[in-house]
Amino acid sequence: MSALTARQRIGWGVITVLVLVYALFPVASIVATSFKLPSQLNTGTFLPETWSGTNYESILAPSGAAQELFLSALRNSVGISLIATAIAVVLATLAAYAIARLDFPGKKLILTTALAVSIFPVISIVTPLFNLWRAIGLYDTWPGLIIPYLSLTLPISIWTLAAFFRQIPWELEQAAQVDGATTWQAFRKAIVPLAAPGVFTTALIAFFIAWNDFVYGISLTSTSAARPVPAALAFFTGASQFESPTGAISAAAVVVTVPVVILVLLFQRQIVAGLTQGAVKG
């Protein structure tokens, strides 16, 4: 493959810069808004005239107007997302292993069903799920969100992990069994360590999906007992009915985005390696 000419390199550089500006401009705008005073929100300037941490104090300080609403929602988001991710990864690992290694009737049907569930409109099942959860007592509870979150995280987890397990040589497991290992021991000690990059990548993707959900969070909760952060942001209010909570919402958005950005930056090599390994058939 021939090297790029100087003009081509410049062209690709310009395209890269434009894409980065397009992608990062909304983020920069939210960060700048989070440091603005309420009186500066409608001035039309991009950067705040006076940098202030008032919005962060309102959601984090003990005396903040939105502190109780935000911190309780943050705890709910962390707990629910971690539990949903852990359950999804464990179930998906077992299901993907069976799909990749075993021949049984209906294997393609399972994968097709998982794909259909992942693309099914969430909003279409919220109303019946709302009525069902109210009837059986799961409304406004952690399990009432964890179970629906599995419908979001399990399909993509199964598809991703099935691709990883197909790349692992079947002979390694057979060799472990020849050496006296049981099927479970061969799976746990020979297969799972080799699939660790894929499991880790899948866990991050599943966590991000659960972390960012809004529809289930706003529809299946009514109090701070289980309401996650994306839903809680809709209940932020200003100091008065005439004041917009835009600054507080922007500050909360920055706070909940920072952990995700840190995770991606810390584990970007594992994520890229995992996605690449699962996408290329050896």
Give the model's confidence band at 281: pLDDT under 50 very low, under 70 low, under 90 confident, else very high.
very low
Output the pLDDT for position 216: 94
**Domain range annotation of the chain:** 68-279
Residue 240 has pLDDT above 60, yes or no: no
Report d(CA 10, CA 5) in Å as an integer. Answer: 9
82-118 pLDDT per residue, tens: 999 999 999 999 888 888 887 778 778 887 887 787 7
Percent of the chain with pLDDT over 90: 28
Output the pLDDT for position 192: 79
φ and ψ at residue 90, rounded to 5 degrees: -65, -50
Report d(CA 56, CA 34) in Å as an integer. Answer: 8
Give the model's confidence band at 247: pLDDT under 50 very low, under 70 low, under 90 confident, else very high.
confident
Output the pLDDT for position 274: 58
Output the pLDDT for position 141: 95
Residue 249 has pLDDT above 70, yes or no: yes
Report d(CA 148, CA 77) in Å as an integer. Answer: 14
How is domain 68-279 classified at the CATH fold level? Answer: MetI-like fold (1.10.3720)
Residue 251 is given by DSSP the state: H
Output the pLDDT for position 282: 43
- If you average pLDDT over each of 105-109, 133-137, 235-239, which comes out highest? 133-137
Can you tell me the mean pLDDT for 199-221? 91
Strand, helix or coil at 11? helix
- Of the candidates 138, 151, 157, the one whose C-alpha atom is nearest the C-alpha of residue 99 is 157
Of 45-59, 135-149, 215-229, least confident by mean pLDDT is 45-59
Q: Residues 6 or more apart from 169 whose CB is under 8 A from it?
A: none
Percent of the chain with pLDDT over 70: 91
Output the pLDDT for position 65: 63
Of 177-181, 203-207, 273-277, least confident by mean pLDDT is 273-277
Give the model's confidence band at 14: pLDDT under 50 very low, under 70 low, under 90 confident, else very high.
very high
Query: What's the pTM value of the predicted model, to 2 decimals?
Result: 0.84
142-179 pLDDT per residue, tens: 999 999 999 899 988 888 888 888 888 777 777 877 87
